[in-house]
Amino acid sequence: MSTFKVMQFNMQFGQIWEEGNTGPAPIDLELTIAEIRKHNADIVILQEVEHALPGGKQIEPPPNYTRLSAALKDYHGYFSYPKADPRELPFGIGLAIFSRTPLRGTFRVDLPSPPIEFEFEGRKTTPTDRLLIGATTTLHGHDVNLFNVHLLAYFMLNSSSELHLDQRKLVIEQLRRASGPALIAGDFNVSNRDSLIRQFGEIGYQTVQTEEVTWRHRPYVLDHIFHSRHLRPVRYTVKPTSASDHHILIAELEFTK
């Protein structure tokens, strides 16, 4: 039976990981590109593609995505920034899907964040909205719905997504609308993975792995590839990389009968 490979990667806008470095690490987008090419995936799903700029400014065309697209000439791509917001912090923003087969029906859905007040660099602020994007492609004669999401890290705000379920509910609504094979990959930013796995399991989605840590800063499984009942994982691997503070999650999937 034919299989296809999916790569899930929060690329942290190309900022490399340097063990023991307490300051800003350098950006090496060529290393990101090399990692993507090395794994030779059919579907590549990326978060934090761009570096957020002061005042929430968003450059068009997006520079990192433009460079990635030029380097990945044998892929079709779709990118979206989140809703522009002057409160944006200087981290990574923007989601991308790359596919070896053409993408169609691309869309984006804003995921509002609650007004949880927190302090950043001596000033009080509230979190900006997050984003879900999607598209459809055809693999081995099957239409496949692709979703990419980056949720708010409530645990960084001394809170929990279990207390603020709205973003996850909006994602579930989109998954319920999908018919046939579907997968959603992303940085779910959920420290208590059991509640996330249970919630997605209630609508028939399973994650390819639950045990291997995917983030360097804390021992959390933040990155997932969830799949509908129409797909079955054949194998998976978590690959540490110096190209980000997240590890790369690779899964090979096949279609069920």
CA-nearest of 25, 39, 80 to 247 is 39
Asked whether residue 102 carries a pLDDT value surpassing 90, the answer given is yes
Q: What is the mean pLDDT of residues 99-111?
A: 98
Distance CA 256, CA 248 (A): 25
State the CB neighbour count (10 A cutoff) for residue 257.
Answer: 5
In this prediction, residue 20 carries a pLDDT of 77
Distance CA 196, CA 18 (A): 30
pTM over 0.95: yes
Q: What is the mean pLDDT of residues 194-218?
A: 97
Asked whether residue 1 carries a pLDDT value surpassing 90, the answer given is no
Q: What is the mean pLDDT of residues 106-117?
A: 98
Domain that holds residue 236: 3-255
In this prediction, residue 225 carries a pLDDT of 98
Decide: helix, strand or coil at residue 228.
coil
% residues pLDDT > 70 (the chain): 100
Per-residue pLDDT tens digits for 136-175: 999 999 999 999 999 999 999 999 999 999 999 999 999 9
Q: What is the CA radius of gyration of the chain?
A: 17
CA-nearest of 80, 87, 5, 4 to 46 is 80
If pLDDT is split at 50, 70 and 90, which confidence band does 235 have? very high
Q: How high does pLDDT run on average in the chain?
A: 96
Q: What is the mean pLDDT of residues 118-144?
A: 97
Asked whether residue 22 carries a pLDDT value surpassing 80, the answer given is no
In this prediction, residue 112 carries a pLDDT of 98
Distance CA 98, CA 153 (A): 25
Q: What is the DSSP string of 131-173?
A: EEEEEEEEETTEEEEEEEEE---GGGGT--TTT--HHHHHHHH
In this prediction, residue 257 carries a pLDDT of 76
In this prediction, residue 19 carries a pLDDT of 84
Q: What is the mean pLDDT of residues 1-20?
A: 93
Q: What is the CATH number of the domain that holds 159?
A: 3.60.10.10
If pLDDT is split at 50, 70 and 90, which confidence band does 68 have? very high
Q: Output the CA angle 175-52-54, nearest 5 degrees.
A: 140
Looking at the structure of the chain, the number of domains it has is: 1
Q: What is the mean pLDDT of residues 201-229?
A: 97
